[in-house]
A = this chain, B = another copy of it.
Amino acid sequence: MPESGKTAPRIAVDAMGGDHGPAVIVPGALQGARTSHAALVLVGDKEQIDAALAVTPHQDIDVQVVATTEVITMHDHPAQAVRRKRNSSINVALQLVRDGQAEAMISAGNSGAVMTASLMILGRVKGIERPAIATHLPSLTKKTLVLDLGAVTDPRPTNMIQFALMGQVYCERVLDIANPTVGLLSNGEEPTKGNLFVQTVHPLLAQTPGLNFIGNIEGKDVPMGTVDIVVTDGFTGNVVLKTAEGVVSMLTTMLRQEFTSTWPRKLAALMLRPGIKKLRRDLDYAETGGAPLLGVNGVVIVAHGRSSERAIETALGAAVRSIRHDLAGGIADRIARVTPVIEAEAEIAQPVEAPH
């Protein structure tokens, strides 16, 4: 049902993505369409999609199916696959957005391919040099938005300013966080800490107008939720994400071992099971509902390969909010306003090189 008189936005969903394909993506998308009042275009193998639709009630949802014949797998080389597999579900879903037949695209497929195809098919927001992948990591006080997570492994200092600004617009428009705080990931809190790159970026962020920059933060501040937005290069961001995932999975394995080591412990653990289950759900990085690709001309949400139905539902919600609050337009505005200042500063502080 459309919200406040607007028509339901239509979301193109890559039904072939994720570890389980249409069997999980289709019911997840249908539930998301229901809770977020959206219409769907399911893109992928028609037979598999129809099979999934047949077992999921969806009379209340406006669903179209667009059949494609190719699939980009997790093992495909992103750029090559996007060029060669023209009729892949990823390419076609993005073409629907480009051609105005859908307003957003969601995929739990090969994230490198989604990124490459988005750049090729949708292009960048005016003024954005390098789009970034952002995601929410679970933290103590709230969800912490971290970017970039791997789109740009060797950013220039000005890319980092744009990451901060894009994160700011996403927090404000999609997450309803007013004046979100921004931290620069470093190896210490003092402004002088960091490698040479971070030391170059720090004063630029401090001088960026309208940014609630609180300075350097450390790795522990990500799970602690000290700031709303963590800015880092894509290499470090990826390492942080995967370290955090790994520590959670190490801990749950260790807990299981401890809690099943004796019968009385097994019994006690049984009583705690609801609490443990809730915790595991809160901490499952696959459940965070997708990572927006910020800075492309359109709304693109990359979901985790391990996405559950619930994760796809959440990703759909994020897509709808991004459309309703004109995420791409908001980013374009912010960049247009701030770019003259960034450029003036960038001339002063050129990227530094390590001393030999």
Q: Is B278 in contact with A140, judged by CB distance below 8 angstroms?
A: no
Which has the most chain B C-beta neighbours within 10 Å: A154, A351, A353? A154
Q: Is B219 in contact with A246, judged by CB distance below 8 angstroms?
A: yes
Once bound together, how far apart are the Cα atoms of A275 and B248, in whole Å?
A: 17
Q: What chain B residues lie within 8 Å of A271 (beta carbons)? A: 264-265, 267-268
B-facing mask of A154-188, CB < 8 A → 1, else 0?
11100000000000000000000000000001111
Question: Does A139 count as interface, using CB distance less than 8 angstroms?
Answer: yes
Q: What chain B residues lie within 8 Å of A355 (beta carbons)? A: 154
Q: Is A258 in contact with B239, judged by CB distance below 8 angstroms?
A: no
Of the residues B250, B283, B356, contact of A140 by C-beta under 8 Å: B250
Q: Is A224 in contact with B246, judged by CB distance below 8 angstroms?
A: yes
Q: What chain B residues lie within 8 Å of A150 (beta carbons)? A: 187
Nearest B residue to A350 via CB reads B356
Q: What chain B residues lie within 8 Å of A268 (beta carbons)? A: 268-272
Residues 255 to 273 of chain A near chain B (Cβ within 8 Å): 255, 258-259, 261, 264-265, 267-272
Question: Does A52 count as interface, using CB distance less than 8 angstroms?
Answer: no
Question: Does A223 count as interface, using CB distance less than 8 angstroms?
Answer: yes
Chain multiplicity (copies) = 2
Nearest B residue to A218 via CB reads B242
Question: Does A35 count as interface, using CB distance less than 8 angstroms?
Answer: no
Question: Does A68 count as interface, using CB distance less than 8 angstroms?
Answer: no
Residues 49 to 105 of chain A near chain B (Cβ within 8 Å): none
Q: Is B272 in contact with A238, judged by CB distance below 8 angstroms?
A: no
Once bound together, how far apart are the Cα atoms of A259 and B268, in whole Å?
A: 11
Q: Please, how many residues of chain A have a CB less than 8 angstroms from a CB on the other chain?
A: 66
Q: What chain B residues lie within 8 Å of A214 (beta carbons)? A: none
Of the residues B140, B156, B243, B259, contact of A243 by C-beta under 8 Å: B243
Question: Does A241 count as interface, using CB distance less than 8 angstroms?
Answer: yes
Residues 321 to 356 of chain A near chain B (Cβ within 8 Å): 351, 353-356
Of the residues B222, B238, B248, contact of A187 by C-beta under 8 Å: B238
Nearest B residue to A190 via CB reads B77
Q: Is A283 in contact with B251, judged by CB distance below 8 angstroms?
A: yes
Nearest Cβ in chain B — how far from A159, in angstroms? 10
Question: Does A40 count as interface, using CB distance less than 8 angstroms?
Answer: no
Nearest Cβ in chain B — how far from A327, in angstroms? 26
Q: Is B258 in contact with A187, judged by CB distance below 8 angstroms?
A: no
Check A246/B272 contact, CB under 8 A, given A153-B187, A282-B254. no
Q: Is B240 in contact with A239, judged by CB distance below 8 angstroms?
A: yes
Q: What chain B residues lie within 8 Å of A6 (beta carbons)? A: none
Contact sample, A vs B, 10 pairs, CB 8 Å cutoff? A138-B250, A188-B238, A218-B239, A219-B241, A244-B244, A251-B251, A254-B283, A258-B278, A265-B275, A353-B353
17 other contacts beyond A219-B243, A244-B247, A251-B279, with CB at 8 A cut-off?
A153-B194, A153-B195, A154-B355, A156-B354, A219-B241, A220-B246, A222-B246, A235-B236, A236-B236, A243-B243, A247-B251, A258-B272, A258-B276, A259-B275, A268-B270, A272-B272, A351-B354
